[in-house]
Amino acid sequence: MSLKESLKPIFNRLPAVSSPEGHVHFKNKLTWTLGILVLYFALANVPLFGLSPDSIDLFESYRAFFAGASGSLMLLGIGPIVTASIVLQLLVGADVIKLDMSNPEDQAFFQGAQKALVFVMIVLEALPQIAGGYIQPDAALAATLGVSASLITAIIFIQICIGGVLVLFMDEVVSKWGIGSGVGLFIVAGVSQQIVTGLFNWATDSSGLPAGFFPKWIYLLQSQDIGYLLTDGIGFTLINGGILALFTTIIIFLLVVYVESTRIEIPLAHSAVRGARGKFPVKLIYASVLPMILVRALQANIQLIGIVLSSRGITIFGEYVGSTPVNGIMYYLSPIQSPYDWVPSLVTATFSSYGVAAPATWQIALHVLVDAVFLIVGGIIFALFWIETTGMGAKPTAKKIFNSGMQIPGFRRNIGSIEKVMLRYIPKVTVIGGAFIGFLTLVASMLGTLGGAGGTGLLLAVSIVYRLYEDIASEQMMEMHPMVRSFFGQE
């Protein structure tokens, strides 16, 4: 018996959300989706019992696309799900695990393995934060209750694991009973919350100014000279005043919507119904921007390893101030988040506040170059993996078109002919789209966005919302025309 056959019964016994037996009506899907969204916001506001205020959030700079909330049950967010997907996609892509993703049985095995690995990753992402002393128990609470700090730590660990499992099953509920995916829904919720906060937050930040864009400018117009803000203080106006972040947010929003609507349309005709024609769209961002989550998550996990090693006194890879690398290879592997990471004067000011020597200009340039390679090359690799593991490749797509009764005019009606046409477009468009979205993420990250959502988070949110709009339109069309369901393999 092979290892795959041995593991299959175990994966089949894992707890799972039951799939609907028939077609789920649009109103019911919308109800499930909104219900899970409300539950997500509720859990994100449930604080971890026994957590000390002195705890450090290692993933603070990754919150936008990890869809988590510091100090709450949603501490890990979608991190374990994304990390498990990265590991499996790399193993399958390198043929360490031999799976044919066009085979339904192998697809089911992949999904089972991913779920099992998520449970493992929940533990592996929670333990280093506790063992490294970043998540600390509240000593005063332990003394009040008359229990040891170790018991409070164990309770915190159990709460984090429960939150990670809840995220997994909420994602499964949305995928099977709702619209889109839970992962995408949670990212949109988190990024939207950050942008709204970035616009209207009246609380002051480290500079003493209100954090929100509108409160900040109300304060500046009352206390600063307009002439200074438009001349000598133009740098302050653009960066500290949030003007650059505002324009970046608007431009990225419009650009992503435009790119999402850019597509190559392959003509289709029904083999049995004369005159019935259609088109199969191959979008420029065919694999969506979700592979960018995998790229940033890979960087986040590399940084987690560096932080844990540094906390143990192993500084060969770099030293950290909090969760920020200040030297070594980990500095170059860390993601660019804002102008404070690459504008020399701002980098110098930031490192001075840490009390460490600032990197030289060539080191800052190398940091930007490494992040660019990570995003562009990683975007291509993970986009190719994504379409193969999600059934969006040429062969699965050709099979869906053939089973729906459609064919490409001028070609024989068989799967092989359709697949040849798809191979002309899908792989090439996937590579171009992966590289383009990686470059766009780099530019957005370098310029900064409102609310500290980050270039990656903003790109993900806009693209997911656009595709969610398309999914809703598709669901409404299937409600109006039930025959359309056959193309999507739904009963």
Does 271 lie in the same domain as 189? no
pLDDT given for residue 450 in this prediction:
80
Range in 56-60, 298-302, 359-363 the model is least confident about: 56-60
Q: Residue 94 burial (CB < 10 Å; 0-12/13-18/19+)?
A: exposed
Range in 310-324, 356-370, 432-446, 459-473 the model is least confident about: 459-473
Does 249 lie in the same domain as 118? no
Does 99 lie in the same domain as 247? no
Question: Is 195 among the domain residues?
Answer: yes
pLDDT band at residue 477 using 50, 70 and 90 as cut-offs = low
Domain boundary pick from 201, 216, 251: 201
Question: Is 400 among the domain residues?
Answer: yes
pLDDT given for residue 377 in this prediction:
93
pLDDT given for residue 99 in this prediction:
77
Does 268 lie in the same domain as 148? no
Question: Is 14 among the domain residues?
Answer: no
Does 246 lie in the same domain as 133? no
pLDDT given for residue 153 in this prediction:
92
pLDDT given for residue 1 in this prediction:
54
pLDDT band at residue 272 using 50, 70 and 90 as cut-offs = low
Does 168 lie in the same domain as 34? yes
d(CA 102, CA 236): 54
Does 102 lie in the same domain as 172? yes
Q: pLDDT digits over 142-162, tens only?
A: 998 889 999 999 999 999 999
pLDDT given for residue 488 in this prediction:
47
pLDDT given for residue 233 in this prediction:
64
pLDDT given for residue 165 in this prediction:
94
Q: pLDDT digits over 3-22, tens only?
A: 677 888 888 888 888 888 87
Q: Which domain holds residue 100?
A: 27-201
Does 310 lie in the same domain as 172? no
Count of residues in the chain:
491
Question: Is 379 among the domain residues?
Answer: yes
Does 355 lie in the same domain as 416? yes
Name, of 34-43, 100-109, 268-277, 459-468, the range with top average pLDDT. Answer: 34-43
Q: Say whether pLDDT at 208 is over 80.
A: no
Domain boundary pick from 148, 178, 201: 201
Q: Say whether pLDDT at 87 is over 60.
A: yes
Question: Is 308 among the domain residues?
Answer: yes
Q: Which residue has the higher pLDDT, 174 or 485?
A: 174
Q: Which residue has the higher pLDDT, 364 or 204?
A: 364
Does 184 lie in the same domain as 120? yes
Does 284 lie in the same domain as 147? no
pLDDT given for residue 152 in this prediction:
92
**Domain containing 433 — which CATH number?**
1.10.3370.10
Count of structural domains within the chain: 2
Q: Which residue has the higher pLDDT, 438 or 485?
A: 438
Range in 63-67, 261-265, 350-354 the model is least confident about: 63-67
Question: Is 147 among the domain residues?
Answer: yes
Q: Say whether pLDDT at 53 is over 70.
A: yes
What would the mean pLDDT of 198-226 be, rounded to a whole number?
80
Domain boundary pick from 177, 201, 225: 201
Above pLDDT 70, what percent of the chain?
A: 91
Question: Is 351 among the domain residues?
Answer: yes
Question: Is 258 among the domain residues?
Answer: yes
pLDDT band at residue 102 using 50, 70 and 90 as cut-offs = low
pLDDT band at residue 55 using 50, 70 and 90 as cut-offs = confident
Above pLDDT 90, what percent of the chain?
A: 18
Does 297 lie in the same domain as 187? no
Range in 17-31, 201-215, 221-235, 286-300 the model is least confident about: 221-235
